[in-house]
Amino acid sequence: MADITRRFGWRHLRGVPTAHIRHHRAGHLVHDGPGLSFWYRSLTAALSEIPVDDRELAMTFHARTHDFQDVSVQATVTYRISDPGIAAARLDFSIDPDTGVWRGAPLEHLSTLLTETAQQHALDVLARTPLEALADGVAEVRERVAAGLGAEPRLPATGIEVVAVRVMALRPEPEVERALRTPAREQIQQEADRATYERRAVAVERERAIAENELASRIELARREEQLVEQRGTNARREAQEQAAADAVRAEAEAARTVRLAEAEAARAVRLADAEATRSVRLAEAEARRTVALGEAEASAAREVGEARAEAQAAWLRVHADADVATLHALTATRLAENLPHIDSVTVSPDVLTGLLARLGNGERA
């Protein structure tokens, strides 16, 4: 769309390289070309903007084949306006001089013209073709649509040139498409099943080989275990023989050592016995001498103690013989008091205290 600017009652139009501008003033063509830029007055100007770039027109329509099967066609037509003057004369490409917006919808008319023309040629070729023949591809439909559009007289008369035609897909109804897919799917499934069976066969063969290898490994392992058992028995016998020889040598050495120890112990016992006997004799002699000496000392001490006691008794008797009766009574009371038991406390009953007080009173009166 052209860029229009307002300045003091004038308008300035600036176009783009992909848009062809036609400017009429008072019925005369003033400006004509792509990418123009000029000043004009909106009240006296008639402007047209025709796009000259390549445009893509996508279309989808339904058709029926020779065997009465409905199909959907998806195609794209690339076109451009090759003669802007003819296109501006046949279609309304005029724009508002103030806003630059198309007054009509010329591109929609072009789309309708191209779609209907392409659809007509596609329907013609599909109506003569069975559905199974379409499985080979869309080349025939594309060539027929391109040839039909190229030979259509209305397009050059409108200034339109078809650049390319592409047909992306031809799709039947979902049920028919599933039915058409069934053989291919069955074939693919058969191939998959065959591949599965082959894989299983290979797996079984490999498992058999693995089992045989395992069996051979077990046999070899059993044989080696047998050899190992034999070798272990041989080693055990040899070890037992060596152990027996070592035990015999050890027993002989132990016996010799025991004999030597016994002889040494006997000699030591004899020496100890002799020493003990000598010591016992000496101890007996010393004990006898000590006993004799002790007996003599005890006898002497006993004689001296007896003599001392006799002298003390005699002196005691002499002292008592010379003392009076009152002194003897006092000594008797003293000896009696020394031999009495220890008394911590004395309890005097009222009866005893009353009698003592009564006796004390009678003594005072007397």
Q: In what order do the strands lie in the sheet containing 70-81?
A: 55-64, 70-81, 160-172
The CA–CA distances, whole Å, from 99 to 17, 39, 193 equal: 19, 14, 69
**Most confident option among 239-248, 287-296, 334-343, 356-365:** 239-248
Strand partners, 165: 77
pLDDT in tens, 124-151: 877 777 766 565 567 778 888 888 888 8
By the 8 A CB rule, do 60 and 74 touch? yes
Tell me how far apart the alpha carbons of residues 109 and 115 are, in angstroms, rounded to a whole number: 10
**Whole-prediction pTM:** 0.46
Tens digits of per-residue pLDDT, 28-61? Answer: 889 888 888 889 888 889 999 999 988 998 888 7
Confidence of residue 366 (pLDDT cuts 50, 70, 90): very low
For 222-228, what is the mean pLDDT? 89
Share of the chain above pLDDT 90, in %: 4
pLDDT at residue number 285: 85
List, for residues 294-304, the tens digit of each pLDDT value: 888 887 888 88
**111, pLDDT greater than 70:** yes
Q: Provide the pLDDT confidence category of residue 176 given band limits of 50, 70 and 90.
A: low
Residue 156 has pLDDT above 60, yes or no: yes
pLDDT-above-70 percentage for the chain:
84
Q: Helix, strand or coil for residue 19? A: strand
Tell me the mean pLDDT in the region 215-242: 89
- Please state, rounded to an integer, the average pLDDT across all residues of the chain: 82
Give me the pLDDT at residue 136, please: 58
Q: What is the pLDDT of residues 312-349, one digit of tens each?
A: 777 777 776 766 667 767 777 677 666 666 666 667 66
